[in-house]
């Protein structure tokens, strides 16, 4: 009886192993590897992919290659690890999974969902566990943790001193990856969340609540600071800025500035609406929301002064971001798709990278921020974040050198997710 049981368990694994062994994999020859960790380009490499991993790398021009299912000529091309969008909202509606192929086509092989539904998050995770090639890897928070009267009632868990432990326990049971804290949490609740994550070896990330200071949030160990909300309060006070930076660095906090949302805000204020072809295929809920914003904006009367104020604010936000970069706070790249209107899935992460270049961050650093930093953030460097033997084959091949100009991240030749080439179609070229 025992023997039969073992056989049944082993059969599927044995069968997959056999199927993989029969595949001769993918070989990419004569390609330049972007080594984001050491800020160098290694030319003329040959990368062997077997199953979902990098099996071998030869750091020399390839000789004759015959033993592969697919041979890709990488001459003149550049390869780097897949990008991560570290601030998205897609886990709030099941049919958002239709965006998985779109994200992959833009080279996004990992995402952090910053608030939605734990049920949807777990559904997506299950799908990706069964079929890792069908979409980017997802880490998520489930519902946003906010005060008794939350900003976003639909996607939040309102917390009070009476229910905080119960809500956190239930999310912990649902296996959310971290907690997302929001703007209206009272100080004592943020304290409770900080205590809870310590106890359970979890983390919390998000906004700085209106009821605490950024310094206090850093002191409590907030793992990442999203956007520049509240941090802008520090802009004119170098004493507070240094205190915040010192604490944040000692607590190993990260900053995900999402500059692209501020760019979009200033554009919208000037009544410039960014509507690429994908706009017409957008999810109905989002489209209604965005159309409403557009209508309201168009009906408002703007003065020259309003427009100048918007521009000045965006300039200040860019300066502040640069200040944090110069003072050594580690960065993450995020787009805030579905958190901000006219932010597009996949594409807007490339806009964020371009904005970081715009404020003077060197392209090598931006590439590191968008690929290796997420792996460091989630403790995944064993399998992700660089191109090395044994690591997962989540890769992006570019037609032009992104170190020369970060906007070349948009010139994607091919994306490989978990060892499989992502099919491309015309929809990627719509921007
Ligand atoms: Zn957000």
Rounded Cα distance between 335 and 153, Å, is: 22
Interval between CA 416 and ligand 1 midpoint (Å):
27
Q: Which two tokens stand for residue 343?
A: 């932010």
Which H or E element spans position 2? Answer: helix 2-22
Interval between CA 114 and ligand 1 midpoint (Å):
6
Interval between CA 263 and ligand 1 midpoint (Å):
15
CATH code for 83-378? 3.20.20.140
Which tens digits make up the pLDDT trace of 125-149? 999 999 999 999 999 999 999 999 9
CA distances for 175 relative to 279, 282, 298, angstroms: 34, 30, 43
Does the pLDDT value for residue 347 go beyond 90? yes
Instruction: Residue 256: name the closest of 326, 352, 380 by CA.
Output: 352
Interval between CA 267 and ligand 1 midpoint (Å):
19
Is the domain spanning 22-81+387-430 CATH 3.40.50.300? The answer is no
Rounded Cα distance between 30 and 44, Å, is: 4
- 106 touches 358 (CB < 8 A): no
Tell me the pTM.
Answer: 0.93
The residue length of the chain stands at: 431
Interval between CA 89 and ligand 1 midpoint (Å):
6
Q: Which two tokens stand for residue 42?
A: 């290694």
Q: What are the start-end ranges of the H helices in 209-258?
A: 214-219, 238-250
- 368 touches 60 (CB < 8 A): no
Section 215-229 average pLDDT: 97
DSSP reduced 3-state for 81: strand
Beta strands in 105-206 (DSSP E): 108-113, 137-140, 144-146, 156-158, 179-181, 204-206
Interval between CA 233 and ligand 1 midpoint (Å):
20
Interval between CA 180 and ligand 1 midpoint (Å):
9
Q: How confident is the model at residue 265 (pLDDT cuts 50, 70, 90)?
A: very high
Give 46's strand partners. Answer: 58
Q: What is the pLDDT of residue 300?
A: 83
Interval between CA 341 and ligand 1 midpoint (Å):
11
Which tens digits make up the pLDDT trace of 168-208? 999 999 999 999 999 999 999 999 999 999 999 999 999 99
Interval between CA 419 and ligand 1 midpoint (Å):
30
Interval between CA 339 and ligand 1 midpoint (Å):
5
Q: How confident is the model at residue 22 (pLDDT cuts 50, 70, 90)?
A: very low
Q: Which two tokens stand for residue 23?
A: 């595949």
DSSP reduced 3-state for 259: helix
Q: Tell me the torsion sign for CA atoms 336, 371, 215, 203.
A: positive
Q: What is the pLDDT of residue 424?
A: 83
Q: What is the pLDDT of residue 7?
A: 34
Does the pLDDT value for residue 214 go beyond 50? yes
Interval between CA 27 and ligand 1 midpoint (Å):
38
Interval between CA 319 and ligand 1 midpoint (Å):
21
Q: Which two tokens stand for residue 318?
A: 């860019």
Give 395's strand partners. Answer: 81, 416
- Looking at every residue in the chain, the average pLDDT score rounds to 92
Three-state SS across 187-217?
HHHHHHHHHHHHHHCCCEEECCCCCCCHHHH
Interval between CA 88 and ligand 1 midpoint (Å):
6
Rounded Cα distance between 33 and 45, Å, is: 7
Interval between CA 426 and ligand 1 midpoint (Å):
29
Q: Which residues of 14-25 are buried (b: 16+ CB within 10 A; e: fewer)?
A: eeeeeeeeeeeb
| % of the chain exceeding 90 in pLDDT | 83
- 267 touches 421 (CB < 8 A): no
Interval between CA 6 and ligand 1 midpoint (Å):
47
Interval between CA 336 and ligand 1 midpoint (Å):
5
Give 341's strand partners. Answer: none
User: Domain residues of the chain, as ranges?
Assistant: 22-81+387-430, 83-378
């Amino acid at each position: 009886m025992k023997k039969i049981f073992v056989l049944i368990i082993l059969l599927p694994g044995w069968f997959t192993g056999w199927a993989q062994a029969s595949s001769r994999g993918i070989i990419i020859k004569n390609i330049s590897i972007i080594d984001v960790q050491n800020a160098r380009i290694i030319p003329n490499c040959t990368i062997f992919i077997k199953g979902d991993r990098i099996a071998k790398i030869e750091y020399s021009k390839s000789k004759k290659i015959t033993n592969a299912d697919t041979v890709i000529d990488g001459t003149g091309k550049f390869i780097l690890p897949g990008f991560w969008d570290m601030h998205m909202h897609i886990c709030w509606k099941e049919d958002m999974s239709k965006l998985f192929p779109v994200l992959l086509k833009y080279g996004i092989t990992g995402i952090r969902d910053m608030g939605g539904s734990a049920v949807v998050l777990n559904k997506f995770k299950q799908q990706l566990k069964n079929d890792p090639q069908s979409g980017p890897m997802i880490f998520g928070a489930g519902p946003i943790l906010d005060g008794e009267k939350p900003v976003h009632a639909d996607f939040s868990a309102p917390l009070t001193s009476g229910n905080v432990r119960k809500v956190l326990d239930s999310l912990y049971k649902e296996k959310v990856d971290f907690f997302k804290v929001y703007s209206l949490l009272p100080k004592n609740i943020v304290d409770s969340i900080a205590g809870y994550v310590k106890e359970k070896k979890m983390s919390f990330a998000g906004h700085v609540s209106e009821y605490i200071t950024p310094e206090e949030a850093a002191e409590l160990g907030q793992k990442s600071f999203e956007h520049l909300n509240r941090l802008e309060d520090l802009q004119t006070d170098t004493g507070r800025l240094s205190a915040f930076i010192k604490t944040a660095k000692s607590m190993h906090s990260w900053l995900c500035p999402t500059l692209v949302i501020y760019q979009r805000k200033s554009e919208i204020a000037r009544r410039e609406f960014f509507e690429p072809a994908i706009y017409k295929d957008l999810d109905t809920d989002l489209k209604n929301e965005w159309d409403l914003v557009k209508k309201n904006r168009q009906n408002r009367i703007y003065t020259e002064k309003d427009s100048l104020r918007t521009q000045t604010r965006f300039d200040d936000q860019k300066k502040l971001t640069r200040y944090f970069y110069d003072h050594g706070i580690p960065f993450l790249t995020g787009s805030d798709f579905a958190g901000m209107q006219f932010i597009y899935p996949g594409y807007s992460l490339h806009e964020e990278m371009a904005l970081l270049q715009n404020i003077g961050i060197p392209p090598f650093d931006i590439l590191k921020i968008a690929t290796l930093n997420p792996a460091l953030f989630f403790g995944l460097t064993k399998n992700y974040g660089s191109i090395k033997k044994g690591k997962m084959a989540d890769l992006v091949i570019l037609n032009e050198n992104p170190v020369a100009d970060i906007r070349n991240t948009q010139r994607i030749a091919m994306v490989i997710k978990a060892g499989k080439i992502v099919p491309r179609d015309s929809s990627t070229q719509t921007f």
